[in-house]
Structure 1
Amino acid sequence: MGGPRGEVRILGPVEVCGPHGRAALSGARQHGIIAVLALRAGTTVAVEGLVDVLWGEDPPRTAVRSLHSYVARVRQALADCGLPGALVTKPGGYQLDATVDAELFERTRDLGLWRGEPAAGTELFGWGRAEIDRLREQRITALEVHWADRLDHQDAIAELERLVASHPTRERLVGLLMRALHLDGRHADALEAFRKLRSRLADELGTDPGPELTALHTAILRRDPALHSAKPAQLPARAGHFTGRSAEFAELACLPPIVVVSGVAGVGKTTFAVEWAHRVADRFPDGQVFLDLQRLTPAQALTEMLHGLGVSADRVPADPAALYRTLLHGKRVLIVLDDVRRARDVLPLVPGDQGNLLLITSRDTLSALGTRHAVHTVRLGLLSEPEAHSLLSGILGEPRVHAESAATAELVVHCGRLPLALRIAAARLAVRPGRRIADLVRELTRNDPLDVLTVDGDDRTVRTVFASAHRTLSEPAARLFRVLGEHPGASFPADLADALGPGLDELVATHLVSEVGNGRYALHDLVRLFARQSGDLADGVERLLDRYLTIAHAANQVLNPRHDLVTRAPCDDLPFAADRVEVLACLDAERDNMLHVIRLAARRGLHRETWQLAYLLTSYFEARGNWAARVEQCEHAVTAARALADPRAEAEMLRGLGIALQMTSRIAEAMVVQRQALALVREAGDLRGEARLHNNIGNAHSELREFGLALESYQAATRVHGAAGDEVGVALARRNLGYTYVRMGRPELAVEPLFAALETFRAKGNSRLEAATLMSLGNAFHQLADRAPALRYFGDALRISREVTDHRFEADALAHLGVTQLALGDPAVAREHLIASLEVCRALGDRHREASALHHLGETELALGDLAAARDHLVAALAARAQAPDEFEEASVHRTVADLEGRCGRWTEAARHWAQALALFTSCRRS
């Protein structure tokens, strides 16, 4: 099928033309095979389907054998004309690879492709005959469209009379003939054509002509001047410097009969519609009408439409719809209806004849229109950054834009890539050629952009077009719009909007809110700003925060109900079931918003909501990481708790801040805030809080390799947890004790406390801490060189981590499996585990774990002998370690790099890295 494509013609006698001329086909069956395969060119036609089409309902028993014989002869004929690969045998059938005139006609409606009756010289049955009938119908429809544009042509009457003779009951053809005769002054002949049709319909079908043809007959009887209607040319001038929208124009290449152009206010719907209308105007020779429906009722619009088509005011009937459709019948008129508000305003203006085109612009999607008519909707989005730059360059000149490329990029951001905003900004700069683009950017930064984006003498501003869309909203939708304007994140889920009140569908339909995928929605930045200014809604922020607190509390109840410092009433209206996987998935989708919402609460001085939301997210961050955001959340929460003079809340958020600082390798800072928290809980007599802080302080000491101090802290944690009657807390302290013994290189001391902790976690059903303990046990047995149980414990830890979707522990388990497999002499398997661990670490944004995984991957590639890959991983490990400092781990990387350089014979580099490793190891021991 890679050879030359032949040309197959079936719009007349069947022919095949190849590089060497015409194929020598003989007989009806060979021509029929080509015709049938051409009707399905590029797809496989089953043998049974070919038999049905070529022999009908009662084929002979030898039909299949005969078919194969015919196909062989056709294939030879095609090969002889230079098309050896055109007819291909496929499983169960045959396929023709060729250019087919019928397919080309369906795309272009070029009547010149027709040479006579379709598939002449063949005898087809069943679906083949139905396809031929379909082609005939397409041809007669195309002829109707063709002659509708040429009623005053000298051959029009003769050709239409010939077509009517062949299709005497086809009302559109008769109507075209009546119009042509009337335009030629042969009024009696036009009326006689109607009489003949009415008589034939009555005799053969027992029916009358349709209402449109009857209205045409009446108009001819009255010699209605509207039948000699004007050819309107009402399109407004094109906007200057039009740019972009090539994909949207491509969508309309087939000229659908009804097009709705929708999008947010200011996105350029009218500009796009007018531009496209001008581009296709020559395909509508009977004229172009333009109406602004913002200021007209449907009845007024219909009257204006008739005036545009040449009907004087005194000739407009009481019910103008029938006359409107009559005037458009058989014509090709482009009708542009701008700024339509509701689908019902359009319905009277839909032409009855699909030769016309109705182009509508609306902020609403007008979905109700699609329930009655076939509608093609073009949804205009924001300009791309290159398109926005192109628009500014067109208005301001390329040199000016190029000279301030950075400021231009900022201007595009401030205007949100909204065409109206960009045009207004450009207009302000254009009237002052000496003004710098950076000056306007500074003005937009310092002032309200909606006030800045105006031009003297033009009342069409960004604010006014938004206000126009806002005025059409119902009260519930308007209220929801104002609340959503307070949402600080980039997007929000549908359930959040639904919980805040009704109206989301209405806001989406009017494009004030956009769907951005995965059930999430967003407001354009300028729309959000307008929403915040569109009315007084004092409780908007509180309602948003209350919803987020409700979700966070319900999630916390599933993830870790031990975090019980904040309580709220149960809620049935939640976006997840009481399932850990669903809860984490929901919070993952809202992760970025959480920080924005806490910032919003802090900025508004809502101290209680600030610290409670940060507190309720504790268990989520323990499972997912993203500790940099967590640091900022906890800093806001600590400030809020202090403003409330709530020492218990302050201590809890200092504890959370300490964990986040430790996880971002800011361990010295972590130690400071943990000790501040410890002082507060001791003063309050909070044994449980004190025990947790001993645990956390022990963890910090352990990370700093201050193992003696770490052991003291864990022993204190065990003692205080025991006094508080907290079995899980005691088990956690034992687990941390065992973990530290492993880090000390004393695995024999780790086994007993780890097994004790494991037993408690299993009894209490705490899967997450069970996984953590299994990993520490795996490390202990790895150090004891007992690798089989180590692999088993790591495997169990990985399984549980994935079950509870704890990605941090999943990354750790994968890394430990990799290191153990490497020790067992299987670096290929080790690499698979370590690559998987690295992917999870990067998704978490955990640079410490990422650096460790990269280091182990470097060691693995060394074992595999791939020195180049080893170098890449080790260089990346050092870069990651620079962002997550750990002198011991960094020293280990330098030691491995020294080994690599030695293998490469680069002894000077090897010595340098050994020296760096030694210096770092020495520093660790000193500290």
Structure 2
Amino acid sequence: MRYGVLGPLAVWDSHGRRVEIPEVKVRALLAILLVHRESPVSADRLIEDLWDGRPPGGPLNTLHTKISQLRRSLGREQVVRHPAGYHLQVEEGDLDASVFANLVERARTAGTPRAQAVLLTEALELWRGPAYADVADRVFARAEATRLEELRLAAVEHLAEARLEFGEHDALTTELNGLVERHPLRERLRATYMRALYLAGRRSEALDSYEDLRAHLAEELGADPGPDLRALHEAILRHEPQLAPAEAARTRHRTNLPTPATTLIGREGDVTDVRRLLSTKPDVRLLTLTGPGGVGKTRLALSAAREMLDDFPDGVWMVELAGLDRRSEAGDVAERIITTLGLCDTAADSDPVDLVAWLCTALADKCVLLLLDNCEHVVEPVAAVAAALLESAPQTHIQVTSQEALNIPGETVRPVLPLALPSAESQLGRRHNASVRSSAMDLFVERAAAAVPGFTLTADNAPAVAAICRRLDGVPLALELVAPRLRVLSPEQIAARLEDRFALPTGPARGRPARQQTLRAMIDWSWELLSETERAVLRRLAVHADGCTLRAAEAVCSDTDIPEKRILGVLTRLVDRSLVVRDGERFRLLESVAVYCTERLEEAGELARFRSRFVVYHIGQAETADRELRGPGQARYLARLDAETVNMRRALDIALTTGNGENALRLVNALAWYWVLRGRLSEARRSLRAALAHGGAPAPGRAAAEAWLAGMETRDAPIDIDDGALRSRLRWFLGTALYRAGRRREGRGLVEGGLADARAAGDRWGQAIALAERADHYLDKHDTRSALRDAQASADLFRDLGDRWGLLRATRSLARLAEIDGNHASAAALLDGCLDVAKELELWVEVVETLTRLGRVALADGDTDRAKLLHEQALQIASERSYTRGEVQAATWLGHNALRTGDRNSAEIHLRRAAERGYPLGLSPGVAAALAQLDSSA
């Protein structure tokens, strides 16, 4: 049994099923036994606590009845009678409060802030409400509930301190605000809140929080803040260096490199060589690692890239290209890079038709390392992108993994060889010692030990291990595939079977280079050892371009003979055999295995069928996500679609190449709002155009896609759709685009029509977004009263719906109203909330715009220190994301701020930068005015 007291009392059996304790007094009896779980409780004590000193007639008999009822629910053996009373059998790991306390203690001694945060987060997630929630007011539970609540608060404080260390100060300002209000005298909590405010650029609020604490202490306790808090207050007043925006946040590497599941063996010299070439030789900016599948190109590239994080301040990024179709063009490769780096490719309100040129411009002054992985099937487009970057982005370095070179000027090619083989004497049965070891043997022994715990290299098995390594040519993937065979075969038996296998023709592998034949033979052998069910699931997994979740595997790979419930067991066995890789919540095939399985899928005559299932599944996922993106699941489904981006593209490619226009339109219509939220309008335009180019789809789907595309291209389009809710949303979307493009009359008409449609259809989301847009229209006409009415109504609707983006959109209008009224404090508070949402959802354009507006409000309020910090943050993020408009705005306001403080040199630097960056976008008039002010003050 497991027991929960961190919230309402709960009991679960060993299978995780809820055990009902139906009667109130029986639940109270269980709570008493849990409170006193370390020792028996006498009958008198139980009677006193159960009936609060007013026992019924015949209390002992009544108590025995309650104990019998409890035993019926839990099992007789769970409630034991001792001479001293009754005792509940509870192991430490069976009670959530004990697990919580253990995790908190482990966090206290964890080595790093991140490790502490992981443990503390896990601990706090155990809480389902107040401790002993349903009996907390009873005398017997009060002390224990108070103790646990104090532990929880201390854990929250510890977690907040840990998160500060790795730069999460912005989110903490919001999260801690309510907690500080509920516990105004907790100095540790207050200190963390003050530091978070200061690091978020809200120095005046940090100082105000200190004054608030001092007032509370004086009024309630007649005391002053403690020495630590006074020291923090002084440090904030003096802007001491240790309080500057978190060092961890400044030095944190910008990268998406995955953490390796296993150690890299035998490549130390190769890693050093690759790093030396890329990071210390200025003439090597494109390094291509070539070699056959399975030789370890990606692992080597990743290890070298990980050691160069400090060399590239703008980031080291892995761009996976395996999911691209063989017909992909240079623009597809550029788009994959843009998406991976999180660049705002549509933030300039223009359609970058030439994505390669746009990428070159975005990276022109960036010092980045790009790892373009698995390029052999798209060599020509990768070569075109790489050549353009070499010419236009002088600080960009590129590392390519491919089975063939790009063959362009400036490329350095470095073959990746198999691991070193053991010397001949190791096969002759001589005594095993270090001199006969090799990197191939080291890899095999480590993987063997992982498969068969306790396996070691000995004098007896060394000759067989050496024979295995030599027979497999030292190809790492081949060695990893054969190592699990040690669960059923000895090294000698494996070596003998390899000799037999390689003496026979290798079927489909004939005509391949020798080492590719080796790998093919190992995959063949692994395949032959699988059951028919395992083969079927393995080959069907190959339809996924970028791995899959368990749910996707169940839906796509199952059939009448292999029901969904069996898929997990099959996947587990395939992972054990090293044919499938577990990566977090996803299951992946290594590239060589994926190619092999695709061939097998085609041989089985299943390719078209399971590609179709793959498309249908992802259409369903996209349509579900489209609904959830307008509610409380927004952040979760944004992350889910982010993870499935490559698979969604593969699904669209399959729908297009098979001529299924209906599926293509369903998919692009379902993804349109996601693309808008993520700012991926280039991808959206291209995908919508491709889907619309196919005929045979129902008219409503075509009309919806036409409307989405028209809004993205700011042109007119008929919206002839019967679905009132969808029609209202598309009218709002197109109307907003036209209004912001200067066609205000048409835009207002469409938004008003969308609002009417939404009301008629009962679509609250459609009403909320149309009201938010109309509020801005009223503001442009200086009708603040109507604007306030619509903006507040929109915010209320979005809040009820749980749509965080929508609430941000409405709140932005409310903040604009507060600015117009001169209520700077209210505007700042509203914008702080917008900033938290934008960061949570990773909406980087919104983050930059909100930081810039916050800085402008601070400057209007006379707080030049905060204004400078906020505009610097906006400039940094805009630069990182290649959001040129945001860079210009932030630099312009930094110039204004410097003029306000009399720093003419800084003002000129910032304003000249803004003029230079803004000129191509036509954003220079405001900058020119500031420069004129600078000149006139000379």
| Range of TM-score over shorter length | 0.3 to 0.5
Name the larger-Rg structure. Answer: 1
TM-score normalised by the chain length of structure 1: 0.44
Report the TM-score, using the length of structure 2 for normalisation: 0.44
